[in-house]
Amino acid sequence: MARRNNNNCWQPGEYRKELSELAETFLGSIADVTSDWLFFNAVINDETFQSNSMYDILIIALFCVCAASTIFAIVVLVSSVMVLLGRMSASTFNIILAAEALVADVPDFVVTYLVEAARGDGISEFGVLTLATSAYNIVQDTLLACRLEDMTTVTRRRRSGDEEEGRYADLKAQHHEKLRKVKAKYKEKLRRAQTEKYNGYDSDEGSM
């Protein structure tokens, strides 16, 4: 598994680097999911906040954010495996990372802020943890997307160079084949000329 398929193949060193970065991204998603559910649990068990007029709406919104984070964590895990196996391109994986940031991480920021503002006790420990993991996840996804795109560009350039070398080798082989045929024809003509010359000598000697 040191290489991917011909369309997206990594060198062994690139494969290890990619594996490390994908694992880091997945762990970041897991940390984000864990902090989201811890914050959700803390909020629903806050008896003071339950009397707030915005409680029901914010709880539903917070639950949707937690569910989205969980779903995307699973999607990122499956997609990471597919990228390593060469079943998914870097561009497709980048779209998934962007969707995770827009659908899960950014709303997580907004909902967490609204919940903490509605509670009126400042930002709680779980709130800080949720905001921190979401921010880390966004930064990590962005960096990984840029790195994968750079690696894909390098791979395409390398593959283009290999194709150019292959075409040059084919042209060189065709040139050598033409030279071989020309030499073969020349040798054949020379052999026939010598044969005819010797046959002419034999005829002259016979007539004498």
pLDDT per residue over 45-92, tens digit each?
Answer: 988 888 888 889 999 999 999 999 999 989 988 988 888 787 888 788
Q: Which amino acid is at 128?
A: V
Mean pLDDT confidence for 163-190: 68
Q: What is the pLDDT of residue 110?
A: 92
Q: What is the pLDDT of residue 10?
A: 44
CA 10 distance to own-chain centroid: 10
Q: What is the pLDDT of residue 160?
A: 54
Residue 150 makes CB contacts below 8 A (sequence gap 6+) with none
Q: What is the pLDDT of residue 38?
A: 94
Please report how many Cα atoms fall inside a 13 Å half-sphere around the Cα of residue 80, on the Cβ side. 21
Q: What is the pLDDT of residue 2?
A: 38
Q: Is the pTM for the entire model greater than 0.75?
A: no
Residue 3 makes CB contacts below 8 A (sequence gap 6+) with 9, 10, 11, 12, 15
Q: Answer yes or no: is pLDDT of 4 > 80.
A: no
Q: Answer yes or no: is pLDDT of 37 > 90.
A: yes
